[in-house]
Amino acid sequence: MILDSHIPEGPLAEKWTRYKNSQRLVNPANKRKLNIIVVGTGLAGASAAASLGALGFNVDIFCLQDSPRRAHSIAAQGGINAAKNYQNDGDSVERLFKDTIKGGDYRAREANVYRLAEVSGDIIDQCVAQGVPFARDYGGLLDNRSFGGAQVSRTFYARGQTGQQLLLGAYGALSREINRGSVKLHSRHEMMELVVEEGVAKGIIARDLVTGELERYAAHAVVVASGGYGNVYYLSTNAMNSNVSAAWACHRKGAFFANPCYVQIHPTCIPVHGDYQSKLTLMSESLRNDGRIWVPKKKEDAEAIRKGEKGPLDIAEQDRDYYLERRYPAFGNLVPRDVASRAAKERCDAGYGVGTTGLAVFLDFASAIERLGRDVIEQRYGNLFQMYQKITDQNPYEVPMMIYPAVHYTMGGLWVDYELQTTIPGLFAAGEANFSDHGANRLGASALMQGLADGYFVLPYTLQNYLADKIYEGAATTEGEAFEKAEQAVRDRIAKLLNINGRHSVDHYHKALGRIMWEYCGMARSKESLAKAAEEVEKLKQEFRSDVYVPGKAEEMNPELEKACRLTDYFELAQLIIADATQREESCGGHFRIEHQTEDGETQRDDENFMFVGAWEYHGADTPEELHKEQLNYEHIQIVKRNYK
Amino acid sequence: MHFTLHIWRQENAHAKGHFEKYEIDNISPDCSFLEMLDQLNEQLVGDKIAHPVCFDNDCREGICGMCGLYINGRPHGNDDGVTTCQLHMRKFTDGDEIWIEPWRAKAFPVVRDLVVDRSAFDKIIQAGGYISVTTGGVPDANTIPIPKYVADQAMDAAECIGCGACVAACKNASAMLFVGAKVSHLGLLPQGQVEHLDRVRNMIVKMDELGFGGCTNTYACEAECPKQIKRQNIARLNREWIGQMFGRDRKN
């Protein structure tokens, strides 16, 4: 099968305009006769449903929380990028495009990224009109800050809660459409299965998480905006309920899954402190604007700190190693995430780590507080400092924070073409659930941009193009064999899990899976470690299948059952991540193979052999998946070695 | 650390609930309250006696607003400015007895155990808690300058996470801090002015309809709000409510 990304003809800067000018439309009277299902109410899902509802389509939207406002987009802290050039510092669509491609280590699709940069400014306009209270300067105009991988200030922010404010904006727009009747909300519902008839997406099977009943929903098109799969590592910055199952249900039904090995490890998270820990908390990248990262220069100092004999304030200035500033003078503390994470790991592995476990580095604000005053720092990062203090019981205004990398975002996801359509006609994927825009590494403040770009400004166009001739098909119906079979498959899966009646809880297996993945398929991977991971995951999967205990019934609120269903999919996903990491014999962005590095420890790409998107096709449980390649053609951009020195 | 827990168990919305007593051991002081409950559930699953305790939670970093437990008579427990997920066991003393209940309010019926139905908050927002703009066709973001102090005030109000602690803390189960925060956030900004009076009216009418009580100025909501939303928002809400009575009529 040849993967066609359906990129429009013409020069890069005109592609999107040309597409919009020539696409097919749906007449206003017909829009209300067409049904669209949106799964997920994060930035991508909520903005898509609101925009499509406003156009007049009939939308059903699903979320597994009690309210659409809880989606994990809400936890995004730092900001959203846009090429507004309000700061007059040389920003432009072209520059945002180039930074994003370079940040992604030349593994993203040019046309998609250009479109993203092109619509970025519209997103800010839209959000301000919705009442998003972005930070402003004393003249009343919008303020910006810098994020990793850029030399301009193009990040818009609302204190340390940008994701929350953007999501509440989209949630407001969604609420308005619910009030108008164009969107129907199904909260506490989880998508369990995609229904495909004659190769086309026709609807979903959802489980009501309160009653446990299975319900059928039919539509002319399905949009999956269910987020990323970072929780396969158990400990991540994702929310507890974030999962891959909706996307994986699509994958099982034939949608290709692309680049699963591209997982972003965020450099600044609160370090792990105990076995009972359920999640890791992010400390925003924006802190690197003013915070300086360091470890002691001398091993004996590091050791003394680990033993609690010395504190960070006992280490004299000349005995501190500001290793990012030392290694990357041009970008300093603001190198991209993958670079900063590996540098922290390198120092800790070499024996310079701090904290009781030795797996932490300092993020120090002393010089910023001295330069700007405590008030300014408090205004910029107050809520983050408070959060840090509540969790660790230490005051970051007085002692440096301790941080360590943690799984944060997944660049891989469902393969989509230029229209965000997957390999199943009628099935679209948006936001973190798709793979399209970030290549092998996402730049800070670009996830919010991509989620809202997909929902507000891309899907409302491309879905219409798809739906234009669907009016001839008549009303969507849940009758028929395809729905029958899909529902029965879910019923069987649930019954099987409930009947195992083994000895260990779901979390027991999830934690074990997470440890394997972090140890052997985490920040640094090798052929040997991946082989080891493959072996251990297979063994654990078999144990899970025969010895898990899921209490309760199918027809009731049963969180253990929900977790068991999700973990079943994580096992398959973990095996695919390992397979993808094994075939990619190069290092790029978040994927670091220790066999492929330069002398000074930087990633070494192999453009000749690996400049492709790896899209995997499912062939059934316990069967190896098949790799398809979409070659990346860079017509506009000049490919160079990624260098932040 | 060791604790004796008294937890509200209720099989579903129609069943009769009761307190159940559990003992739990080996809890680290650095553990969060929800992680302590995770360990209790692990214990219950391991023993195969009881169904694990259901409680809502998601982001576990204090921003999604999904968690919310009534702990020893206080919403989100005995620490200020935090949600339940950010409450840590170091705030308790070894050997403490801890009473854990769901939010109690007519408008938030119990779903199971400690889980309640807060969709009433969504319905209030749907009644008008937004600025009616359709995607596209909006002016450039810098067209209307907004004084920094106004934007900051709007942001203070916008920080509400919709957890419902204000309602749970209030003896009248009033949602006026929640509604006041949204009305302030949007009403302070020039973009929100056009629909301002209608918004105030529609949200308050919906709030009353859903069974939330009125404010009698105890300010327990402000004291217990994990995001420290100010009671001034209630004052603004009352002022605007009176204002809309004298304002233009919708129909004219």
Nearest CA in chain B to A74: B64
Domain spanning B118-246: CATH superfamily = Alpha-helical ferredoxin (1.10.1060.10)
Distances (CA, A) of A100 to A104, A335, A444, A459: 6, 13, 10, 21
Q: What's the pLDDT at B243?
A: 87
Chain A residues with CB inside 8 Å of B62's CB? 387, 390
SS3 label, residue B86: helix
Whether B130 contacts chain A with CB within 8 A? yes
Range(s) of chain A covered by CATH 3.90.700.10: 266-408
Nearest CA in chain B to A504: B46
Are B177 and B214 in contact by the 8 Å Cβ rule? The answer is no
Chain A residues with CB inside 8 Å of B134's CB? 51, 54
| Residue A1 binned pLDDT confidence (cut-offs 50, 70, 90) | confident
A214, two tokens: 């299975």
Chain A residues with CB inside 8 Å of B111's CB? 210, 557
Task: Give the nearest partner residue to B130 out of A165, A172, A551, using CB atoms.
Answer: A172
Report the sign of the C-alpha dihedral through residues A397, A400, A401, A405, in that order: positive
User: pLDDT digit string (tens) for A181-223?
Assistant: 999 999 999 999 999 999 999 999 999 999 999 999 999 999 9
Q: Please state the three-class secondary structure of B96-120 as a single string.
A: CEEEEECCCCCCCCEEECCEECCHH
B-contacting residues of A 217-246, CB under 8 Å?
Answer: 239-241
Q: Which helix (H) or strand (E) element contains residue A617?
A: strand A612-617
Contact A51 B135 (CB under 8 A): yes
Half-sphere exposure of B154 (CA within 13 A, CB side): 25
**Strand ranges for A254-366 from DSSP E:** 257-258, 263-269, 292-296, 320-321, 361-364
Give the other-Cβ count within 10 Å of A506's Cβ. Answer: 25
Are A96 and A156 in contact by the 8 Å Cβ rule? The answer is no
Q: What is A486-611's CATH topology?
A: Methane Monooxygenase Hydroxylase; Chain G, domain 1 (1.20.58)
Percent of chain A past pLDDT 70, that is, above it, reads: 100
Please tell me the distance from the alpha carbon of residue A79 to that of residue A126, in angstroms, as a whole number: 15
A-contacting residues of B 157-216, CB under 8 Å?
Answer: 158-159, 161-162, 185-186, 189, 191-192
Whether B82 contacts chain A with CB within 8 A? yes
Give the minimum alpha-carbon distance from A88 to chain B in angstroms, rounded to a whole number. Answer: 14
Give the N- to C-terminal CA distance of chain B in Å, as an integer.
Answer: 66
Range(s) of chain B covered by CATH 1.10.1060.10: 118-246
Are A143 and A134 in contact by the 8 Å Cβ rule? The answer is yes
Please tell me the distance from the alpha carbon of residue A194 to that of residue A206, in angstroms, as a whole number: 9
Contact B161 A386 (CB under 8 A): no
Are A228 and A266 in contact by the 8 Å Cβ rule? The answer is no
CA angle A449, A267, A346 (to 5 degrees): 145
Mean pLDDT of chain A: 96
Q: Which helix (H) or strand (E) element contains residue B221?
A: helix B220-224
Contact A557 B54 (CB under 8 A): yes
Give the minimum alpha-carbon distance from A240 to chain B in angstroms, rounded to a whole number. Answer: 5
User: pLDDT digit string (tens) for A18-38?
Assistant: 999 999 999 999 999 999 999
Q: Are strands A200-208 and A292-296 parallel, antiparallel or unpaired?
A: unpaired
Give the minimum alpha-carbon distance from B92 to chain A in angstroms, rounded to a whole number. Answer: 14
CA proximity to B120, closest of B189, B62, B186, B168: B168
Q: At what angle do helices A559-583 and A506-520 cross, to 10 degrees?
A: 20
Task: Give the nearest partner residue to A125 out of B138, B155, B185, using CB atoms.
Answer: B138
Q: ipTM higher than 0.85?
A: yes
Please tell me the distance from the alpha carbon of residue B201 to that of residue B238, in angstroms, as a whole number: 11
Distances (CA, A) of A464 to A7, A167, A226, B137, B252: 17, 24, 21, 19, 38
Residue A380 in this model has a pLDDT that exceeds 90: no
Q: Which of B58, B90, B131 to mutate to test the interface with A (most CBs of A within 10 A)?
A: B58
Average pLDDT value for residue range A221-227: 98
Percent of chain A past pLDDT 90, that is, above it, reads: 93
User: pLDDT digit string (tens) for A51-110?
Assistant: 999 999 999 999 999 999 999 999 998 899 999 999 999 999 999 999 999 999 999 999
Whether A176 contacts chain B with CB within 8 A? yes
Instruction: Give the contacts of A539 (CB within 8 A, at least 6 positions apart).
Output: none
Give the minimum alpha-carbon distance from B162 to chain A in angstroms, rounded to a whole number. Answer: 8
Please tell me the distance from the alpha carbon of residue A595 to that of residue A618, in angstroms, as a whole number: 29
CA proximity to A386, closest of A284, A238, A275, A272: A284
Instruction: Give the contacts of B205 (CB within 8 A, at least 6 positions apart).
Output: B127
CA proximity to B87, closest of B105, B104, B69: B69
Average pLDDT value for residue range A256-284: 93
Please tell me the distance from the alpha carbon of residue A265 to that of residue A409, in angstroms, as a whole number: 7
Query: Residue written as tokens 């439309």?
Result: A25
Q: What's the pLDDT at B248?
A: 62
Please tell me the distance from the alpha carbon of residue B7 to that of residue A645, in angstroms, as a whole number: 56
| DSSP for residue A595 | T
Contact A175 B125 (CB under 8 A): yes
Task: Give the nearest partner residue to B138 out of A129, A137, A457, using CB atoms.
Answer: A129
Whether A438 contacts chain B with CB within 8 A? no
pTM over 0.95: yes
Task: Give the nearest partner residue to B111 out of A71, A210, A239, using CB atoms.
Answer: A210
Q: Which of A70, A186, A384, A459 to mutate to test the interface with B (most CBs of B within 10 A)?
A: A70
Q: What's the pLDDT at A147?
A: 86
Q: Out of A382-386, A426-430, B69-73, which region has the weakest mean confidence (pLDDT)?
A: A382-386
Give the minimum alpha-carbon distance from A551 to chain B in angstroms, rounded to a whole number. Answer: 7
Q: Which CATH number is A266-408 given?
A: 3.90.700.10
Please tell me the distance from the alpha carbon of residue A238 to that of residue B58, in angstroms, as a whole number: 9
Q: What's the pLDDT at B252?
A: 44
Chain B residues with CB inside 8 Å of A270's CB? none
Are A217 and A474 in contact by the 8 Å Cβ rule? The answer is no
Provide the residue type at A634 as one letter.
Y
Chain A residues with CB inside 8 Å of B58's CB? 65, 70, 72, 239-241
Q: Is A634 buried (19+), middle (13-18) or exposed (0-12) by CB count in 10 A?
A: middle
The stretches in chain B having pLDDT less than 70 are 248-252
Give the minimum alpha-carbon distance from A277 to chain B in angstroms, rounded to a whole number. Answer: 7
Q: Which helix (H) or strand (E) element contains residue B224?
A: helix B220-224
Q: Which CATH number is A12-20+36-262+411-473 given?
A: 3.50.50.60
User: pLDDT digit string (tens) for A503-536?
Assistant: 999 999 999 999 999 999 999 999 999 999 999 9
Range(s) of chain A covered by CATH 3.50.50.60: 12-20+36-262+411-473
Q: What's the pLDDT at B249?
A: 55
Report the sign of the C-alpha dihedral through residues A32, A38, A44, A47, in that order: positive
CA proximity to A579, closest of A233, A260, A252: A260
- Render A114-141 in DSSP notation, one character per residue: HHHHHHHHHHHHHHHHHT----B-TTSS
Contact B48 A551 (CB under 8 A): yes
Range(s) of chain B covered by CATH 3.10.20.30: 3-111
Contact A130 B131 (CB under 8 A): yes
Contact B28 A387 (CB under 8 A): no
Chain A residues with CB inside 8 Å of B154's CB? 131, 133
A-contacting residues of B 56-75, CB under 8 Å?
Answer: 56-66
Q: What's the pLDDT at A284?
A: 87
Give the minimum alpha-carbon distance from B182 to chain A in angstroms, rounded to a whole number. Answer: 11
Instruction: Give the contacts of A626 (CB within 8 A, at least 6 positions apart).
Output: A616, A617, A619
CATH of B3-111, one of 3.50.50.100, 3.10.20.30, 3.40.640.10, 3.40.50.450: 3.10.20.30
In chain B, the largest separation of any two C-alpha atoms, in whole Å, equals 67
Please tell me the distance from the alpha carbon of residue A72 to that of residue A69, in angstroms, as a whole number: 9
Please tell me the distance from the alpha carbon of residue A547 to that of residue A505, in angstroms, as a whole number: 9
Whether B242 contacts chain A with CB within 8 A? no
Contact A390 B79 (CB under 8 A): yes
Contact B122 A175 (CB under 8 A): yes
Range(s) of chain A covered by CATH 1.20.58.100: 486-611
Nearest CA in chain B to A558: B54
Instruction: Give the contacts of A640 (CB within 8 A, at least 6 positions apart).
Output: none
Contact B60 A278 (CB under 8 A): yes
